[in-house]
Amino acid sequence: MIGTIFDIKEFSLHDGPGARTTVFFKGCPLRCRWCHNPEGLKAESELMIKRSLCRHCGRCLQPCEHPECEPYERCIHACPHGLIQVSGEKYGVEELAEILMRHVDYFRRCGGGVTFSGGEPLMQSQFLLELARKLDCHVALQTSGYADKDVFQAVVGEMDFVMFDIKLADRQQHMTYTGVFNDRILANLDFLRRSGTDFLIRTPLIPGITDTEENLDAIQRIVGGDPWETLPYNPMAGAKYPMLGMHYALQDRKS
Amino acid sequence: MDRALYELIQKKKHHMYRRELSVSLDFAGKPPEERMAMRFEKLCEAETPVILPGEEICYLRTISRIPDIFSEAEWQEIRKTKYIHELGYMSNVSPDYESVIRDGLLKRREAADEYGRRAIDAIFGLADRYRDEAVKQGRRDIAKTLERVPRYGATSFREALQFFRILHFSLWLEGNYHITVGRFDQYMFPYLQADMEKGLYTEESALSLLEDFFLSFNRDSDLYPGVQQGDNGQSMVLGGMDSEGNDAFNLLSKLCLQASEDLKMIDPKINLRVSHNTPLEIYEMGTRLTRAGLGFPQYSNDDAVIEGLTDLGYDLQDARDYVVAACWEFIIPKVGADIANIAALSFPKIVDTCLHRKLAVCHTFEDFMAAVRQEIHEECGRICSSIQNVWFIPSPLLRLCMGEIRYRNEGIHGTGIATAADSLYAIQKYVYGHEIEPDAFLDMIDSDFEHHGEWLPKLRYETEKMGNDVDDVDTIAVELLDDFADALAGRKNDRGGIFRGGTGSAMYYLWHADEIGASPDGRRKGEAFGANYSPSLFAKTKGPFSLIKSFVKPNLKRVINGGPLTLEFHSSMFTDEACIQKVAQLVKTYIDLGGHQLQLNAVNADVLRDAQQHPEDHQQLVVRIWGWSAYFVELDKEYQDHVLQRTEYTI
């Protein structure tokens, strides 16, 4: 089983209890306009290029013989300034588990563990399930909640903690700003509540979109007495878009 | 502490009292000690007592420049036969404040020689004029303190603080520099404790007085000699074990951490001694100070340091009393006259030399490493034998403030360990792995990657580096540091001491980098090494867990001259108490795993870049350089750029 991972971040402090290692799964079914990890959207590997620092020496455009460069029409090993990076590395389950378990001693000392994030980890649910079963430590999931209910239930069954996003309460607005309706998400939330797994509902505060009084009141009604936290808007959210040749939809918005 | 006083110092308004020495000194034909005594007397006489509004602890330097006791021609003559270290004074020492403050200078005077007595009398003269000025200004409290100290031993916390200030002020005025503060929380605590028992202070009022006192370190420090502004050696050491091995962290240790966090000034520079027994709570206090962005506390591990020092021959009780010199070198207060920064070994230069002389003749990597080992031994031999006839300008006052000297060891920094380990790994992998011919490899390095340029990204970005917990690379660093320790073991200096190696770099991370061209790790000609015990500047590290694991692998007790691992954290990592606890736990892990010394920075590269563009908006922005903190805008650009470069890969 092979998974596509776009980052592994040691010592993440905001992704669950203790200091953790966060694994970022590539691919997401949502297209939130404010997404601050745009390299997590596409399921396939892609190039991130720090174009603003490029001195146009042209070395990456010269033909090379590396098979791994074929999909990109440029050589990924040639940049003398290290500006080209492949986002989305392939890992086997065993290989990734071994990398993550190297720091299990640290997790045990300070009550940390591994968090699966993305992208949407549930897009690679089979890989996620196999990986989670191999990790002998606290495991947590950050999810949009947008997945088939069988997939969702199977994964939740393997987790110690789930961070579950409710971004917009209104069905139509959810479609407008994320590209999908929220019916599946709310249904999965119902299951999560009954599952017995510890969870936390999270809402990113996007100026003028999710942080409206109307939306937050409506989410409060969905949340009821369950644990809920809001996440401040990241003003640097748009920074990675140019590296992917993408346009940031909220570019001109004042934060 | 008085708020207006704080602002006056912060805005440097006290500089208005400064002037040049108006009398000239005729040193002709006089011996050095006489010159020192003369100069000190004249300076004390020329000083104008200034009592700033609202201050409790007084003394302000008003003579800005101290004239040299030797002319340039005389220095040239001296250097013909003597080894002169830096400016020629005994520096990087920690005086015996404890007994001087306890006994008073009158008692010290009884045992002093003529020059010592003259120095003490000069101190009394200035103290009396300060007292008169206090009376004139109606400051009975200050006058009363000065009736007691510095003649007699301190009987209260305030007297003890004022006494310290007078001593410290006088030692610098004598011309000495890098006079450290030592174990302040140990020798000062009995005074505070006694006063608190008498009901004279609450924690709050003690903190207020302490903050007033801390300001005194920031009044004259821009006049102190150093490589850059901020390099002034005012290191304070807190916590750790006492000479019997008991935990000695006390209320004053805590108040000092608090005072430093409140003031957000670069002095005194806080060092926190910890061990595997230190509770997380103390690390959390330290982390809150880190969050303030001053680049300290710097942590040192009693478990590693004390054993390392006793292995070198230091007495256990002395080793337990260790303090930190101006930057990070471990020295013994009162009885230590080590020259902890006398020279430096450049690991990348060793590799470079072997690359050019031995690559063609060594047929296996093991042979090549043997050549590296031999070169380290030879280079250490050259360094040690070049240090002969060290001579210090005699400092009568400093001598009076030290105990009987027991240690005269000499410390050698070890620069660029990661650059060297990464380079050797690349040589092993590609040259001895037969991916490239030795001639081509050398041609590539010598041409600064103009030839075989396709290798540059591979070496620089795609080859494993120290700092990622990769054994194949890290074990090379282990070997290099062991070789360094072996190469110094058994060598004696001509002052009756030994040599000891360390992991610090001081400013050599720039200087040594200029001595060689490109290096096999993909470092281009002209690029700096990492400062102290750090990954190379362009190494992509996986994160702090891996970094720590890499850097605890070497046998750090054997290179205990000091030199910290540095971790850079983005300032947003310290948002709440939960994060403070997590960072504190990380520090504790490094110590528990046997790390010797650690220094953390809370930095924000965007702010630093803005400060380069608009220095006027960032007057108070503090960064850590190699072993001390400085105001960013006061640094030369090459130092600013190095700070920026290392934050590019902020964890």
Is A109 within 8 Å of chain B by CB? yes
The string of pLDDT tens digits covering residues B186-208 is 999 999 999 999 999 999 999 99
Across the range B370-390, mean pLDDT stands at 97
Chain B closest CA to A54's CA: distance in Å?
Answer: 14
Predicted pLDDT at B610: 84
The string of pLDDT tens digits covering residues B476-502 is 999 999 999 999 999 999 999 999 999
- CB-nearest to B543 from A11, A77, A82 is A11
**CA A48 to CA A83: how far, in whole Å?**
8
Chain B closest CA to A16's CA: distance in Å?
Answer: 11
Predicted pLDDT at A253: 58
A49 phi and psi, to 5 degrees?
A: -125, 125
Q: Strand ranges (DSSP E) for B355-497?
A: 410-415
Which chain B residues have a beta carbon less than 8 Å from that of A8? 542
Report yes or no: B345 and B413 within 8 Å, Cβ to Cβ.
yes
Which chain B residues have a beta carbon less than 8 Å from that of A14? 579
CA-based nearest residue to B264, from B291, B300, B302, B237: B291
Burial code of B177-211, b = ≥16 C-beta within 10 A, e = fewer?
bbbbbbbbbbbbbbbbeebbeeeebeeeebbbbbb
- CB-nearest to A78 from B454, B469, B582 is B454
Predicted pLDDT at A252: 61
By percentage, how much of chain A surpasses pLDDT 70?
Answer: 98
Average pLDDT of every residue of chain B: 94
Which chain B residues have a beta carbon less than 8 Å from that of A77? 454, 457-458, 462
Q: Hey, is B33 helix, strand or coil?
A: helix
The answer, yes or no, to whether residue A99 has pLDDT greater than 50, is yes
Predicted pLDDT at B648: 56
**CA B601 to CA B621: how far, in whole Å?**
13
Q: Do B457 and A82 touch (CB under 8 A)?
A: yes
Who has greater pLDDT, B609 or A46? Answer: A46
Predicted pLDDT at A255: 43
Residues facing A248 on adjacent strands: none
- CB-nearest to A102 from B462, B469, B579 is B469
Q: Where are the alpha helices (DSSP H) in chain A?
A: 93-101, 104-110, 125-134, 149-156, 171-178, 183-195, 213-223
Which chain B residues have a beta carbon less than 8 Å from that of A112? 582
Q: What amino acid is encoded at A204 in this protein?
A: P
- CB-nearest to A110 from B538, B546, B582 is B582
Is A247 within 8 Å of chain B by CB? no
- CB-nearest to B457 from A11, A14, A77 is A77
Residue to mutate among B462, B545, B600, with most A CBs inside 10 A, is: B545
Predicted pLDDT at B615: 85
Query: Which residue in chain A has the smallest CA separation from B589?
Result: A106
Residues facing A49 on adjacent strands: A84
- CB-nearest to A82 from B460, B544, B573 is B460
Across the range B347-360, mean pLDDT stands at 97
CA-based nearest residue to A44, from A93, A6, A97, A83: A6
By percentage, how much of chain A surpasses pLDDT 90?
Answer: 84
Handedness of CA B262, B586, A160, A36 (dihedral sign): positive
Go through the domains of chain A in sequence order and give each one's CATH number.
Answer: 2-45+88-244 (3.20.20.70), 48-86 (no CATH)
Query: Which residue in chain A has the smallest CA separation from B582?
Result: A19
| Other Cβ atoms closer than 10 A to A2 | 11
The string of pLDDT tens digits covering residues B136-158 is 999 999 999 999 999 999 999 99
- CB-nearest to A10 from B538, B543, B578 is B543
Who has greater pLDDT, A252 or B100? Answer: B100
CA-based nearest residue to B83, from B298, B392, B504, B369: B392
Who has greater pLDDT, A253 or B20? Answer: B20
Output the CA–CA distances (angstroms, integers) from residue A99 to A105, A140, B542, in the order listed.
Answer: 13, 17, 11
Query: Which residue in chain A has the smallest CA separation from B549?
Result: A103
Q: Do A109 and B578 touch (CB under 8 A)?
A: no
The answer, yes or no, to whether residue B248 has pLDDT greater than 90, is yes
Q: Do B545 and A10 touch (CB under 8 A)?
A: yes
Q: Do A110 and B585 touch (CB under 8 A)?
A: yes
By percentage, how much of chain B surpasses pLDDT 70?
Answer: 99
Output the CA–CA distances (angstroms, integers) from residue B607 to B7, B205, B570, B633, B645, in the order listed.
Answer: 23, 35, 11, 12, 13
A 112-151 near B (Cβ less than 8 A) = 112
Chain A closest CA to B453's CA: distance in Å?
Answer: 8
Q: Are strands B410-415 and B499-501 parallel, antiparallel or unpaired?
A: parallel
**CA A3 to CA A92: how far, in whole Å?**
6
Is A191 within 8 Å of chain B by CB? no
Who has greater pLDDT, A252 or A74? Answer: A74
B499 phi and psi, to 5 degrees?
A: -110, 145
Helix B140-148 / helix B157-173 crossing angle, nearest 10 deg: 70
Residues facing A163 on adjacent strands: A142, A200
Across the range A166-183, mean pLDDT stands at 97
The answer, yes or no, to whether residue B441 has pLDDT greater than 50, is yes
Q: Do B542 and A8 touch (CB under 8 A)?
A: yes
Quick one: pLDDT band at residue B651, thresholds 50, 70, 90? very low
The DSSP secondary-structure symbol of A17 reads S
Give the list of residues 6+ apart from residue A133 with CB closer than 8 angstroms, or none.
A158
Across the range B103-128, mean pLDDT stands at 97
Which chain B residues have a beta carbon less than 8 Å from that of A110? 582, 585-586, 589
Give the list of residues 6+ apart from residue A239 with CB closer than 8 angstroms, or none.
none
The answer, yes or no, to whether residue A89 has pLDDT greater than 80, is yes
Instruction: Supply the ipTM of this predicted assembly.
Output: 0.91
Report yes or no: B256 and B221 within 8 Å, Cβ to Cβ.
no
Residue to mutate among B444, B450, B454, with most A CBs inside 10 A, is: B454
The answer, yes or no, to whether residue B179 has pLDDT greater than 90, is yes
Predicted pLDDT at B570: 82
Within 13 Å of residue B325, how many CA atoms lie on the same side as its CB?
A: 28
Q: Do B545 and A103 touch (CB under 8 A)?
A: yes
Q: Hey, is A163 helix, strand or coil?
A: strand
Number of CB pairs < 8 Å for A and B?
Answer: 59
pTM for the model stands at 0.93
Instruction: Indicate the range of A146-150, A159-163, B244-248, B628-632 predicted with least confidence.
Output: B628-632
Within 13 Å of residue A110, how many CA atoms lie on the same side as its CB?
A: 31
Which chain A residues have a beta carbon less than 8 Å from that of B545? 10-11, 21, 102-103, 106
Q: Do A11 and B469 touch (CB under 8 A)?
A: no
Report yes or no: B17 and B48 within 8 Å, Cβ to Cβ.
yes
Quick one: pLDDT band at residue B225, thresholds 50, 70, 90? confident
Is A253 within 8 Å of chain B by CB? no
**CA B300 to CA B241: how far, in whole Å?**
12
Which chain B residues have a beta carbon less than 8 Å from that of A21? 543, 545
Across the range B602-625, mean pLDDT stands at 82
Q: Which residues of B touch A (CB under 8 A)?
A: 449, 453-454, 456-458, 460-462, 469, 538, 542-546, 549, 573, 578-579, 582-583, 585-586, 589, 651
**Residue B326 buriedness (CB in 10 A; 0-12 / 13-18 / 19+):** buried
Q: Do A109 and B585 touch (CB under 8 A)?
A: yes
Q: Do B545 and A109 touch (CB under 8 A)?
A: no
Q: Do A77 and B543 touch (CB under 8 A)?
A: no
Which chain A residues have a beta carbon less than 8 Å from that of B454? 59, 77-78
Query: Which residue in chain A has the smallest CA separation from B569?
Result: A11
Predicted pLDDT at B448: 97
Q: Hey, is A36 helix, strand or coil?
A: coil
Is A8 within 8 Å of chain B by CB? yes
Q: Do B573 and A13 touch (CB under 8 A)?
A: yes
Chain A closest CA to B560's CA: distance in Å?
Answer: 26
The answer, yes or no, to whether residue B322 has pLDDT greater than 50, is yes
Chain A closest CA to B577's CA: distance in Å?
Answer: 11
The answer, yes or no, to whether residue A140 has pLDDT greater than 50, is yes
| Cis status, amide bond into B150, omega within 30 of 0 | yes
Which chain A residues have a beta carbon less than 8 Å from that of B544? 10-11
By percentage, how much of chain B surpasses pLDDT 90?
Answer: 84
Q: Do A19 and B586 touch (CB under 8 A)?
A: yes
- CB-nearest to A106 from B542, B545, B583 is B545
Instruction: Indicate the range of A9-18, A135-144, B444-453 predicted with least confidence.
Output: A9-18
CA-based nearest residue to B601, from B574, B638, B637: B574
